[in-house]
Amino acid sequence: MDYQILKQDVEQKTAQTLDVLQNSFAGLRTGRASTHLLDGVRVPVYGSDMPLNQVATVSTPDNQTLNVTVWDMNNVGAVEKAIRDSGLGLNPMSAGAVIRLNMPPLTEERRRELTKVAGKYAEEAKISMRNIRQDAMSKIKRAVTDKEISEDDQRKYEDDIQKVFDKRGAEVDAMAKQKEADIMSV
């Protein structure tokens, strides 16, 4: 067993988990308009469900408005319906190929719901990291069983791997706390 490769693999997978969490958080609505808000919207066009960014361009002219410029005029109605049905609480208004979305101010109740969703995303990231940790620890134990490494090396490697997960877990907590602060700020 090559420990350096194992540790590198663990660090890469945990970094990917943080990236996924960052993208999930970007899709959560705070009080400001963000182009990432519509990342999860899928539009039924051309016989399949396509991500919104493959049929239109999303831009933010100011911090309270999103503009969605649909490339094919025939798809404007489908894009409007997809945004309305997305559960984001947005009311699209179209003017030709451009759909405007005004960000209504969030109510206190909606802010609390969004913080719960953010907490759920953070917990999913931690669960993913726990699974990565469990896999790495089992590889180390298997190496001891196969007499590839000593028990002293096992303890050293497990402690080293645990430090990586402690650091990444703290990063998840910090990201979740920051997102909660963003959502709750008026």
pLDDT digits (tens, 9 = 90+) for 27-63: 776 666 777 778 778 899 888 888 888 899 988 888 7
Tell me 148's DSSP state: S
Please report which confidence band the pLDDT of residue 137 belongs to, taking 50, 70 and 90 as the band edges. very high
> Please, what is the average pLDDT of the chain?
87
Give residue 116's pLDDT: 87
Please state the rounded mean pLDDT for residues 82-86.
Answer: 85
Please state the rounded mean pLDDT for residues 77-90.
Answer: 84
Share of the chain above pLDDT 90, in %: 35
Distances (CA, A) of 92 to 12, 25, 67, 83, 104: 39, 22, 10, 7, 12
pTM metric for this prediction? 0.70
Report which residue type is found at 31. Answer: G
Distances (CA, A) of 64 to 24, 30, 99, 176: 20, 10, 14, 23
Tell me 185's DSSP state: -
Give residue 159's pLDDT: 93
Give residue 142's pLDDT: 92
Domains annotated for the chain, with CATH where assigned, are: 3-26+107-184 (1.10.132.20), 35-102 (3.30.1360.40)
Please state the rounded mean pLDDT for residues 122-149.
Answer: 92
CA dihedral of 80, 85, 87, 91, whole degrees rounded to 10: 40
Q: What is the pLDDT of residues 138-164, one digit of tens each?
A: 999 999 999 888 889 899 999 999 999
Q: What is the pLDDT of residues 86-112, one digit of tens each?
A: 777 778 888 888 999 887 777 788 788
Give residue 161's pLDDT: 92
Token representation of residue 147: 């007499």
b/e per residue, 82-117, with b = 16+ CB within 10 A? Answer: bbeebebebebeeeeeebebebeebeeeebeebbeb
